Every structure is written in structure tokens, then in C-alpha cells.
Amino acid sequence: MTRFSSATKNLRSSEIRDLMSLATKPGIISFAGGMPGNDLFPIKEIDTIYNTLTVAEKQVAMQYGPTNGLPALLESLGEFLDQKGLPVSENRLLITTGSLQAINILAKAFIDRNDTIIVENPTFIGALSAFKSYQADVISVPVGNDGMSIEHLEKAIHGAPKDPKFLYITPSFHNPAGILYSAEAKNNLITFMTGKEIPIIEDDAYSELFFHPEDADRLKPIKAINPKGIDVCYTGSFSKIIGPGLRLGWMLVPQHIYEKCELIKQSFDACSPTFSQVLADKFLRTGAIYPYLDFIRTEYALRANAMFDALESHLPQYVEWVRPRGGFYIWLQLPEGADAAAILKIAIEKGAVFVTGKTFDPEGKKNNCMRISYCNTSPEMIRIGIPIIAEAIRNICG
Amino acid sequence: MTRFSSATKNLRSSEIRDLMSLATKPGIISFAGGMPGNDLFPIKEIDTIYNTLTVAEKQVAMQYGPTNGLPALLESLGEFLDQKGLPVSENRLLITTGSLQAINILAKAFIDRNDTIIVENPTFIGALSAFKSYQADVISVPVGNDGMSIEHLEKAIHGAPKDPKFLYITPSFHNPAGILYSAEAKNNLITFMTGKEIPIIEDDAYSELFFHPEDADRLKPIKAINPKGIDVCYTGSFSKIIGPGLRLGWMLVPQHIYEKCELIKQSFDACSPTFSQVLADKFLRTGAIYPYLDFIRTEYALRANAMFDALESHLPQYVEWVRPRGGFYIWLQLPEGADAAAILKIAIEKGAVFVTGKTFDPEGKKNNCMRISYCNTSPEMIRIGIPIIAEAIRNICG
């Protein structure tokens, strides 16, 4: 009889693996993935970067690096984030193995068994699995089209069995809800959280993927607003702006939190892949990232627009959704009592796949919503796939 | 007041970071590092591999991969380990972000707060920091020149406040002790552990770096002996056989342990760097690894021999040490009461650096031993640096 730790009981079986394998199943039109399209990666740019590295730079790429990150990358990423308005100089930057690792490290720094934490509903499944693996008591607060309801948040905090250890949110192009917090919602949240001694983990993997440059103000991270009296732990990722295969993310956090996180990172994997860090540094440093960001913003907007058109033409009127202003995802609200799992079953039979909303519900209950993504599917395939989804919805909901 | 988790109290301050920065300090002869020499990396081979990748392969390299590893790498690595005699087909292979992550995942799978685990003394500091971060009660058992003393192990298990969750060992070219378990020591350990229901974590980062091909039998991992009735969790790494910058390792474990570990891995970083996995797969698949292993074995043997000669010429007779038969490290035993920290201070002033034994003692006490490594220093530098170390020893110990 193998005696596993109690933490292993809280691991969600193979839901994420099943989701991944479904999303990449050949011969099916996938609206299930959260990955960039293979055709969109900056292969030529990486070729140029690799082939202009000196031997000494390649040796650095093959060697261990400092736990907090390659000095060159800390510098170039620091500058990139500084230009985004983030308070880089008064915080510490830690390079992580994807931003999921940043979230996991923060979870380990804060969560003791049965501690309360607060998340959005719906929420990012990767973060949820990390929080549950530390045996957190997860309380969720609904997000609307503009952000989190302060009223519900207040109730959640007052009703919590313990003072919450942190609040985890994704204000920009939420996964899965697709929404962008309004400036007002962020300000209200800041006002409410000030002096509460509850750190905010602000997950910002998507904010570069905006469709409307005029949203600049609304896209400003809470970390960039830099509210006094709140510890904001900001996490970001290269996965959506270069490629997830590099496995690079970061956190920007106050010094006293950084100190704990660096030690946890040290015991997790010593340092993040140096090979990837050398490439990412050059991608930033040579400025290759700027035209590339323009290219993918245009391309994702094209895919999103194809999906908006297809949804408007084919979806029944009773399905509620809003046009995301960037990112990867659209969230469909079905009528009360609708069974998204049954819809998925039919859709797969007909050749299209999405993710049921239940996957992103911390309570694992809500079954009348679904996430469809346009990031990894061409406009042509979107125009073929959306009618399949719409028909499957009609089959179940009438 | 930030309320961190109780786990953060068990994190060893900045010892590892200080060690790393000391080991790579410019202008000093370093016997402190555990990293391969920069000049030894297979840069040409990686260049050839990168530049013969197809666009489709580069796209795969930039994308997320399955949590358990890239299918191609699982296949080529599985074959590599099979040729090493490991029972690949009756176990499961999981690619990890360095073998430290494999060890950390196993720690999370087994350790609840205050659980007892058993390690060697001395032991690998990375593993120790992982175990302590899960708040394990770490009991250590001395290793001699041939392996772990069964008598001491028996005492440790009987004296433990709880049944130990696992035994962690490094039988091949131990870090830091440099020793290779004898075949007899391994057999005795297997006999003793059979039926105890205590899994063994066998850390095997160094066994490819042997100097004596006639040691083949002695180099056989316990996992390859495949003892019935013991769950052996075998961990390995590409860090010493390609380059640590790829951040790739693995575990080979029984199915029921694999299932927990895959879920933990999923919540840690979703998957290991795909870019690195594509390169490592080609390095194995093209057979480039075999001549490269011959090259580094020869080179490390050259460095080790230069160090043996220098130690024999310069060390005082009272310093005890054995010639390692492979790996990176030599362990020096100083007389009882000697202060390795004082020796280090003098050595640094004179331009050479090593690591004090205390660093590797789970109890953090033993100060009369030191680790010197030859992996990252040329024979010329070894011949200059060892007399400095020897003189510093004489200064303190007489």
C-alpha cells in the first residue's frame, strides 16, 4: 500500500489532459485549445536569432543560469514591462517556467492546508489545479462583463471561514470568460481591497493581444496603477507572445514576497530553461517582438471577427455572449438548465470541439456555459465549425 | 503583515544562490560548481540539429506539448534507458524540467508535514531543499566509500517517529561524496528494504560519466536490478549529458506513482520546455549522444586525473579521500574538529573556491569535510588551484 501525501487527494483527475488531447485531436475542428496556432509562431525570427548567436552565447544557453533568471533577460524584460507602465524598479522580477509556475510558486508561498483563497467564477483551470494541490479552500466570486462584482466579493470575504490568503484575478481577456475589466471595475476593486491585507494575484497572460488600441487605459494592469497598501503579485507569460514551447513566464512582486518565491523556485527546478531565455532575450532586445505583436494582433482579430460573424449568423437568439476585445476566448451562456456536456457530445460526432463551462467552475457545477476559442483555427475552419456547434446547441436546447 | 504559508519557514535562506554565485565568480579558480564546463557543450551538434529541423518540427518546438513529455522524446529516451537495462516497458516515463523537478514532484506526492523521510549524509542540497519545503522530518544515514550502512539505516528506521515515506539515495557518483555504491551494498540494501513498503528514490544524474567501463555491473541502477516488492522511483537528467540549460530530466516510476506525479507536474508547469525536448530527442535519435558521451567521459577523466595527481602531491597526509570512479566530485575528510569554513575563507582570498561539507549535511553541522569538483576546471587551472586549497588546509589544520 503506497502512502501518498494528502495533497494528492486534491488533484483533479485527468481533466486537463483530456482537454488537451481533445483540443489537438486530428480531423476535428478545434475551438477547445488555449494555444496559439502553429502557423503563427515566429519561426523565421527565431532562426535569425539562433544563427546570429555567438558560440559564447550558445554556451550560456546550454548552462545553468541564476534562479531568478538570466541577467540579460531580466534587463530586456524589465524594460518591456516598464514601457507597459509597470513599476519594475520598485518590485522584483522572477523568471519562471511558464506563468503557471509563477502562480504555483505564489500558491506555495501563501497557502497552508484549508486556507481560504478567492478566485473568479469562472477561472483559469491551471491556477485552480495549483491552488487545490495545496489544499486551499477555494471560494469563487462571479465575474460579469466588466469585472468582478464588489458586492459578491464582500459577501465572500465576510462569509469565509478564514481571512483569505489572496485574491486571484485575470482582468485582461479572461480565460475562459473572454472579458476585459473596465477601468471603473478595477478602481472599485482597488478601493475595496485597500487596507484589507489580502494580496492580489493579477494573472496577465493576454493583455498584449488587444484588438482596439483605444483600450489602452482599460488595459492598464492593476499592478501598473500601483495601488498603495495592496501587495499586487503580477504574473505574465511569453507563451502567447512568442511561444509556449519556450516555457517562460514571470512574476513582478514586492521584495518581501520575492524573497520567498525565489527560494521556492530554487527548490522547484533550480532555474528556468536558459536556452529559451537566451532566445526570448534576443527577441525582445532586437525589437523583433514589436512587429510580431502587430502581426498576431491583426491575425487574432481576423479570426475573432470571422467567429463573431459566424456566431451572429448561426447561434440561436437565446445564447448570450459578448464580443471580446482581445485574447483567445468567447464565453457562451446557454439557458438555465442547459447541458453543455450533451452539446459537446453531439458536436464531437459532427466534427467540432469546444470546452464545457463546468471545467472552469471551481465548484464544478455550472453546466450551462461553454468556452470557444478562435486562437488556433483559421477563418475558413471557423466558418465550417461554428454552424456545427450552433446545430448541436439547437439539438439540445431547442 | 504578509501571512506566508508555514512551508516558507522551512526554506533554507540563500545558501544555494550564494553557492552558485561563488562558483561562477570571475577571476577565481572554481572547484565549487556542479555544472559542466562551458567549453564541453555539444554546440556544433546542436547547431546541426537545429538547422536540419523542418518548419513543422520547429512549430512543434514552439508549442505546448503533452504534460508527460513529447511523444518522440518519450520514445527515444525510453530506448536509451532500455539499453541501460532499465525496465522501461513495465514502468512509466515522465519528462520533467530538470531532475530536481522530478525529485520535487515525488516529494509532493509522498510528504505530508512532519512526515519522516530518510536520506544519505551527506546528500544533494537541491533534493534536501525540496524535501524541507514540504516540511519533512529529514533523518540522515551516513554513506561510506561503498554505500549506505545497513546497520545505521536499520537504526534510523526503528528510531524514526513515523514510518518513513521514502528513502532517497544517489548510488552512482554521489553528489557530494563522489562514491559509487558497490554491487554488494546495493544487494544488501535491496534485501533489507524488501517488504518494508518504503519506496526508494534513486537519483541517477551521473552514471553515464564513468571512467572505468569495467564498472558496468557496479553501475547498474537499483531500478535496473528491478527488485520485486520495492517501489523504485528512478530519476535522471540531461543536464550532465547534453546541457543543464535545456532544463530536462525524467522519472521512471511504477504506474500508480506515475498517475499522481503526472497530475502534480500538470499543476507545476503544464509541460517541460518543448523546444529543449525537440533538441534532446534529435540528440538521442541521431545517435549524436554516443560519441559525445565518449568525449566527455575522456575529458572528465583527464580533469579528474589532474586533480588526483595534484591532491597526492600537495594535500597533507591527514586529509582522507578516495578517487572517484566517475562523476564530478571529490570529498575531502579533514581531521575531527577542523573548520572547513575557515579554510574556505583563506582559499577565496588566495583565489580558489570549493564548497564546505556542512552545506550537504541535513543537520547542517559537520564542518570537517569539503567538496571539490573537477568538472568545470581545466587541468592547468587544477594544477594551479589545488596547491592553494592545500595551503589553506595547512593554515587551519596545521
The answer to whether the CB atoms of A5 and B115 lie below 8 A apart is yes
- Report, as an integer, the average pLDDT of A353-364: 93
A55 is a domain residue: no
Residue A12 domain boundaries:
6-42+291-397
Write out pLDDT tens, residues B184-217: 999 999 999 999 999 999 999 999 999 999 999 9
Q: Based on the fold, state whether residues A335 and A254 are members of the same structural domain.
A: no
- Report, as an integer, the average pLDDT of B13-17: 64
> In chain A, what residues touch B274 (CB-CB under 8 Å)?
244-245, 247
Confidence grade of residue B366 (pLDDT, cut at 50, 70, 90): confident
- Report, as an integer, the average pLDDT of B29-46: 95
- Whether residue A20 has pLDDT greater than 80: no
Output the pLDDT for position B56: 98
Task: For B196, name the nearest residue in chain A, comparing CA atoms only.
Answer: A1
Q: Based on the fold, state whether residues A78 and A179 are members of the same structural domain.
A: yes
Confidence grade of residue A15 (pLDDT, cut at 50, 70, 90): low
Task: For B126, name the nearest residue in chain A, comparing CA atoms only.
Answer: A267
A57 is a domain residue: no
CB nearest to B41's CB, from A4, A21, A59: A59
Q: Based on the fold, state whether residues A118 and A262 are members of the same structural domain.
A: yes
Write out pLDDT tens, residues B137-158: 999 999 999 999 999 999 999 9
Task: List strands edge to edge, sheet with A137-142.
Answer: A92-96, A249-253, A232-237, A200-203, A167-169, A116-121, A137-142
Write out pLDDT tens, residues B310-342: 999 999 999 999 999 999 999 999 999 999 999
> In chain A, what residues touch B138 (CB-CB under 8 Å)?
none
Task: For A166, name the nearest residue in chain B, comparing CA atoms only.
Answer: B3
Write out pLDDT tens, residues A317-328: 999 999 999 999
Output the pLDDT for position B114: 95
- Whether residue A342 has pLDDT greater than 70: yes
- Report, as an integer, the average pLDDT of B71-87: 98
> In chain B, what residues touch A247 (CB-CB under 8 Å)?
97, 247, 269-275
Separation in Å, CA of A377 to nearest CA in chain B: 15
The answer to whether the CB atoms of B270 and A5 lie below 8 A apart is no
The answer to whether the CB atoms of A100 and B165 lie below 8 A apart is no
The answer to whether the CB atoms of B269 and A13 lie below 8 A apart is no
Output the pLDDT for position A9: 85
Q: Based on the fold, state whether residues B276 and B347 are members of the same structural domain.
A: no
> In chain B, what residues touch A41 (CB-CB under 8 Å)?
58-59, 62-63
Separation in Å, CA of A154 to nearest CA in chain B: 20
- Whether residue A7 has pLDDT greater than 90: no
Start-to-end Cα distance in chain B: 51
Separation in Å, CA of B339 to nearest CA in chain A: 27
Output the pLDDT for position A162: 93
Asked if the C-beta of A178 comes within 8 angstroms of chain B's C-beta atoms, the answer is no
Asked if the C-beta of A247 comes within 8 angstroms of chain B's C-beta atoms, the answer is yes
B234 is a domain residue: yes
Asked if the C-beta of A385 comes within 8 angstroms of chain B's C-beta atoms, the answer is no
Output the pLDDT for position A14: 61
Q: Based on the fold, state whether residues A17 and A81 are members of the same structural domain.
A: no
Q: Based on the fold, state whether residues B101 and B37 are members of the same structural domain.
A: no
Q: Based on the fold, state whether residues A230 and A329 are members of the same structural domain.
A: no
- Whether residue A119 has pLDDT greater than 80: yes
Output the pLDDT for position A130: 96
> Using an 8 Å Cβ cutoff, are A169 and A202 in contact?
yes
Output the pLDDT for position B9: 85
Output the pLDDT for position A274: 98
Q: Based on the fold, state whether residues A81 and A220 are members of the same structural domain.
A: yes
B378 is a domain residue: yes
Asked if the C-beta of A15 comes within 8 angstroms of chain B's C-beta atoms, the answer is no
Q: Based on the fold, state whether residues B299 and B168 are members of the same structural domain.
A: no
Output the pLDDT for position B375: 95
Output the pLDDT for position B57: 98
Output the pLDDT for position B11: 78
Residues 270-329 of A with CB under 8 A from B: 270-276, 278-279
- Report, as an integer, the average pLDDT of A69-89: 98
Write out pLDDT tens, residues A295-339: 999 999 999 999 999 999 999 999 999 999 999 999 999 999 999
Output the pLDDT for position A25: 74
Most B-contacting residue of A113, A266, A277, A375 (CB-CB within 10 A), to test interface = A266
> In chain B, what residues touch A112 (CB-CB under 8 Å)?
5-7
- Whether residue B309 has pLDDT greater than 80: yes
- Whether residue A176 has pLDDT greater than 90: yes
Distances in Å between the Cα of B236 and the Cα atoms of A140, B81, B102, B204 are: 40, 10, 8, 5
CATH code, domain carrying B88: 3.40.640.10
Asked if the C-beta of B263 comes within 8 angstroms of chain A's C-beta atoms, the answer is yes
- Report, as an integer, the average pLDDT of A158-166: 96
Q: Based on the fold, state whether residues B227 and B305 are members of the same structural domain.
A: no
DSSP string covering A164-207: -S-EEE--BS-TTT--B--HHHHHHHHHHHTTS---EEEE-SST
The answer to whether the CB atoms of A5 and B111 lie below 8 A apart is yes
- Report, as an integer, the average pLDDT of A32-50: 95
Asked if the C-beta of A350 comes within 8 angstroms of chain B's C-beta atoms, the answer is no
- Report, as an integer, the average pLDDT of B274-293: 98
Confidence grade of residue A78 (pLDDT, cut at 50, 70, 90): very high
The answer to whether the CB atoms of B262 and A17 lie below 8 A apart is yes
> Using an 8 Å Cβ cutoff, are B164 and B139 in contact?
yes
What is chain A's mean pLDDT, rounded? 95
Domain stop point among B225, B253, B285 = B285
Output the pLDDT for position B25: 74
The count of CB pairs under 8 A between chains A and B is 268
Domain stop point among B285, B317, B337 = B285
In this structure, of A14-18, B107-111, B361-365, the range with the lowest mean pLDDT score is A14-18
**Burial class of A184 by CB neighbour count within 10 A (0 to 12, 13 to 18, 19+):** exposed
Confidence grade of residue B10 (pLDDT, cut at 50, 70, 90): confident
Q: Structurally, how many domains does chain B consist of?
A: 2
Write out pLDDT tens, residues B96-139: 999 999 999 999 999 999 999 999 999 999 999 999 999 999 99
Q: Based on the fold, state whether residues B62 and B186 are members of the same structural domain.
A: yes
Q: What is this structure's pTM?
A: 0.97
CATH code, domain carrying B300: 3.90.1150.10
- Whether residue A246 has pLDDT greater than 70: yes
Asked if the C-beta of B194 comes within 8 angstroms of chain A's C-beta atoms, the answer is no
> Using an 8 Å Cβ cutoff, are A21 and A239 in contact?
no
Q: Based on the fold, state whether residues A277 and A300 are members of the same structural domain.
A: no
What is chain B's mean pLDDT, rounded? 95
The answer to whether the CB atoms of A101 and B269 lie below 8 A apart is yes
Output the pLDDT for position A19: 67
B91 is a domain residue: yes
Domain stop point among B285, B308, B331 = B285
- Whether residue B2 has pLDDT greater than 90: no
